[in-house]
């Protein structure tokens, strides 16, 4: 597959503020890529530069191997679905969808069919003569999608497309957008701050932090192999702690969690030079053992809170000065699923291979 | 029940003052004017009657009808030129000025003259356009003319210029507001869908700012239509407006019935325009 979009060393400064800082990113044709990050991380600025609404301070954007860095928005073969839809309030749904077709030199009589097709695609062909204000939020979202898709852009840009919808509708639209992506086969680039949305919908996720790419990869890459503690904490939950690592004579590597010893499996990220670095493990990778004498790589603590979540329970445990979250599945047999109560002394066991080592640093 | 009655009493007490005010100073005078308009002039004064002679006179005597037409024409020109100047200005403020402070400053520069007496602002043009005025002095100094000319003052051109200057804030304000209300992402969406700046203006910005234009037209037209002072100061016989004719009917001509009939016609015209524009605006609001 060829790269439909190539972003090379792209930066955007707003006065003294750096919005996007030296981002390089290639996006394959037909891919569904999500740019994920907290507000202010530069993800929207990056998308707006691809759309042509913002002029980069440095760097280049290539669309289908053509340099479009200085091409104005109206000349770029990309289309955007705006966060609050940006439907033209004075035009009917049909005219909104057909708005961009006039420019492409499509005759008025030939414009009707693509409009109907695009509205069919989002299941709204019966609303062609309605005004936007007569539609619900979800319907407006679909019209915005139809309007962007009708021009068959090379890339469809989605700027937090689901953030204005309520929770149920959002989940439904997540699935619909995935289906739509498969059906039309276009490249989708979505921006969101919602990690679940990013994980559910996209083939590849680009995590951004302070204008730079913190990590990119498939959702499972990011979850199972986060490159740094920022990604580990942003995608899902991770029990992060800092420690120094020491190698014993028997080639074991020892670290400690707030004073309690732990073993970690050998890993090229571990610094055995005595510098403090960050480690972490996922809540579901730790298990409660009922008899602490049987624990092989255990930590002892006191249950602080038990949060029942149906499928699983999250148990917060105070271990020394730290707090550990573990998830216990409840779908197993009743005995295994026995939940501790607040205040219980418990032992947590962690597989040394499931502890991740991150960058140098300290967590208080 | 008692509480409800007391509540009604309290509401009545609060409302009574504005109600009395409105009735006494608005409806009663209108009623008197309306009644007078059917009276008859009998030299040296006039007497009670019920006949349509005054209205007949207005529509048949070219003298009155022409003044009505001229007033309408001048008001239309004033609205037109105000819009022509105010729209690009408001557009510039909203879409081109980058900093909020500059935008506010430039906006206030247009609005601020409203705090200065209208009479004074109209009079200013007399000193600019007059025989010994600034314009003439400049032309002589520049060697374009040898002696002062009186072509600038006391004509319809001077009227339109003065009224446009005086009433332009009433055009700028609603246009500014309507442009300000247009979401910026609609402009971006239009560019995204392939339209250039000019086409975006025609297809998005202009249609969405029409309520502001209509409001501005209504205000400047109605204000100019009823104007009395500009004609008095810079208009001359050629710039006589309907309000001047009405005032002379109540004054020197001592024909209150005819003056009342003229005032009623003027009122009907203005109210018609206001209600049309009101309906138009409501039509536009439903869309946003």
Per domain, the residue ranges of chain B are 61-287
Q: Would you give the DSSP letter of residue B255?
A: -
Q: What percent of chain A has pLDDT over 70?
A: 96
Which pLDDT belongs to residue A164? 83
Beta-sheet strand order (sheet of A66-67) = A17-28, A3-14, A58-63, A66-67
Q: Residues 95..124 of A with a Cβ closer than 8 Å to B: which? A: 99-100, 103-104
Mean per-residue pLDDT, A285-310 = 84
Tell me the C-alpha distance between B288 and B242, whole Å: 38
Enter the tokens of residue B113.
């003259």
Mean per-residue pLDDT, A346-362 = 90
> How many Å lie between the alpha carbon of A197 and the closest alpha carbon of chain B?
24
Enter the tokens of residue A13.
């400064």
Q: Would you give the DSSP letter of residue B96?
A: I
Q: State yes or no: pLDDT of A103 exceeds 80.
A: no
Under an 8 A CB cutoff, do A90 and B196 touch?
no
Beta strands in A51-142 (DSSP E): 58-63, 66-67, 78-81
Under an 8 A CB cutoff, do A79 and B207 touch?
no
> How many Å lie between the alpha carbon of B236 and the closest alpha carbon of chain A?
46
Q: Residues 131..170 of A with a Cβ closer than 8 Å to B: which? A: 131, 133, 147-148, 151
> How many Å lie between the alpha carbon of B185 and the closest alpha carbon of chain A?
6
Under an 8 A CB cutoff, do B191 and A82 touch?
no
Q: Using CB atoms within 10 A of its CB, is residue A237 exposed (0-12), middle (13-18) or buried (19+)?
A: middle
B283 touching chain A per CB within 8 A: no
Chain B interface disruption, residue of A52, A74, A133, most B CBs within 10 A:
A74
A172 touching chain B per CB within 8 A: no
Which pLDDT belongs to residue A328? 86
Under an 8 A CB cutoff, do A74 and B185 touch?
no
The domains found in chain A, sorted by start residue, are 3-234 (3.40.50.300), 239-360 (2.40.50.100)
Which pLDDT belongs to residue B164? 95
Mean per-residue pLDDT, A96-110 = 81
Beta strands A58-63 and A66-67: pairing type?
antiparallel
pLDDT digits (tens, 9 = 90+) for A82-97: 999 999 999 999 999 9
Which pLDDT belongs to residue A166? 87
Which pLDDT belongs to residue A318? 93
Under an 8 A CB cutoff, do A73 and B192 touch?
yes
Which pLDDT belongs to residue A311? 84
Which pLDDT belongs to residue B210? 92
**Chain A CB contacts of B193 below 8 Å:** 74, 79, 99-100, 103, 147, 151
B114 touching chain A per CB within 8 A: no
Which pLDDT belongs to residue A42? 93
Collapsed DSSP state (helix, strand, coil) of residue B129: helix
Domain B61-287 has CATH 3.40.190.10: no
Contacts 24+ apart (CB under 8 A), B56-61: B57/B258, B57/B261, B58/B258, B58/B261, B58/B262, B58/B265
Question: What is the overall mean pLDDT for chain A?
Answer: 90
pLDDT: which is higher, A100 or A61: A61
> How many Å lie between the alpha carbon of B287 and the closest alpha carbon of chain A?
6
Q: Using CB atoms within 10 A of its CB, is residue B76 exposed (0-12), middle (13-18) or buried (19+)?
A: middle
Q: State yes or no: pLDDT of A105 exceeds 80.
A: no
For chain B, list residues with pLDDT below 50. Answer: none
Under an 8 A CB cutoff, do B193 and A131 touch?
no
Contact A261, A284 (CB under 8 A): no
B279 touching chain A per CB within 8 A: no
Under an 8 A CB cutoff, do B191 and A53 touch?
yes
Cβ–Cβ pairs < 8 A, chains A and B: 71
Which pLDDT belongs to residue B3? 66
Tell me the C-alpha distance between B171 and B215, whole Å: 8
Q: Which CA distances in Å does A325 have to A301, A322, A330?
A: 11, 10, 16
Which pLDDT belongs to residue A192? 95
B199 touching chain A per CB within 8 A: yes
pLDDT digits (tens, 9 = 90+) for A308-340: 888 888 999 999 889 999 998 886 655 555 788
């Amino acid at each position: 597959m060829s790269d439909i979009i190539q972003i090379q060393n792209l930066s955007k400064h707003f006065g003294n503020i750096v919005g996007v800082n030296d981002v390089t990113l290639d996006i394959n044709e037909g891919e569904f890529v999500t740019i994920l990050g907290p507000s202010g991380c530069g993800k929207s600025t990056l998308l707006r530069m691809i759309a042509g609404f913002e002029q980069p301070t440095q760097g280049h954007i290539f669309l289908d191997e053509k340099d479009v860095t200085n091409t104005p928005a109206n000349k770029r073969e990309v289309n955007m679905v705006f966060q609050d839809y940006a439907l033209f309030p004075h035009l009917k749904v049909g005219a909104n969808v057909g708005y961009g077709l006039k420019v492409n030199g499509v005759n008025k009589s030939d414009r009707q069919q693509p409009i109907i097709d695009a509205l069919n695609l989002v299941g709204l062909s019966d609303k062609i003569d309605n005004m936007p204000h007569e539609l619900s939020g979800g319907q407006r979202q679909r019209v915005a999608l139809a309007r962007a898709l009708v021009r068959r852009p090379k890339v469809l840009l989605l700027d937090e497309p689901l953030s204005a919808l309520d929770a149920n509708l959002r989940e439904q639209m997540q699935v619909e957008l995935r289906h739509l992506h498969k059906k039309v086969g276009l490249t989708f680039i979505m921006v969101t701050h919602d990690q679940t949305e990013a994980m559910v919908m996209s083939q590849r996720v680009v995590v951004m932090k302070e204008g730079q790419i913190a990590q990119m990869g498939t959702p499972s890459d990011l979850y199972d192999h986060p490159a740094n503690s920022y990604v580990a904490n942003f995608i899902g939950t991770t029990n992060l702690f800092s420690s120094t690592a020491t190698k014993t004579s028997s080639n074991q590597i020892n670290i400690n969690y707030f004073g309690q010893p732990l073993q970690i499996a050998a890993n090229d990220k571990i610094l055995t030079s005595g510098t403090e670095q960050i480690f972490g493990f996922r809540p579901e990778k730790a298990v409660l053992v009922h008899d602490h004498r049987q624990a092989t790589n255990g930590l002892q603590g006191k249950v602080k809170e038990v949060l029942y979540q149906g499928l699983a329970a999250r148990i917060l445990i105070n271990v020394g000065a730290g707090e550990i979250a573990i998830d216990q599945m409840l779908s197993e047999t009743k005995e295994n699923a026995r939940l501790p109560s607040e205040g219980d002394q418990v032992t947590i066991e962690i597989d040394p291979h499931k502890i991740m080592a991150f960058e140098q640093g300290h967590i208080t | 029940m008692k509480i409800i009655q007391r509540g009604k009493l309290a509401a009545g007490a609060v409302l009574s003052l504005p109600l009395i005010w409105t009735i006494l100073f608005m409806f009663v005078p209108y009623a008197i004017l309306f009644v007078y308009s059917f009276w008859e002039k009998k030299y040296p004064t006039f007497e009670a009657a019920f006949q349509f002679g005054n209205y007949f006179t207005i529509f048949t005597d070219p003298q009155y009808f022409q003044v009505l037409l001229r007033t309408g024409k001048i008001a239309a020109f004033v609205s037109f030129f105000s819009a022509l100047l105010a729209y690009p200005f408001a557009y510039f403020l909203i879409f081109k000025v980058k900093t909020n402070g500059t935008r506010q400053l430039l906006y206030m520069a247009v609005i601020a003259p409203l705090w200065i007496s209208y009479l004074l602002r109209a009079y200013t043009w007399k000193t600019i356009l007059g025989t010994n005025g600034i314009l003439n002095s400049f032309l002589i100094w520049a060697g374009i003319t040898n002696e002062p000319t009186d072509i600038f003052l006391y004509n319809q051109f001077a009227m339109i210029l003065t009224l446009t200057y005086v009433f332009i804030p009433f055009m700028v304000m609603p246009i500014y507001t309507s442009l300000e209300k247009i979401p910026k992402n609609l402009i971006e969406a239009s560019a995204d869908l392939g339209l250039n700046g000019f086409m975006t203006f025609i297809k998005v910005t202009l249609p969405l700012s029409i309520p502001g234009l209509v409001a501005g037209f209504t205000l400047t037209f109605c204000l100019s239509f009823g104007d009395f002072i500009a004609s008095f100061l810079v208009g001359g016989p050629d710039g006589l407006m309907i309000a001047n004719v009405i005032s002379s009917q109540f004054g020197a001509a001592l024909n209150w019935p005819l003056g009342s009939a003229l005032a009623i016609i003027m009122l009907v015209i203005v109210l018609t325009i206001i209600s049309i524009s009101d309906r138009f605006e409501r039509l536009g609001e439903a869309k946003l």
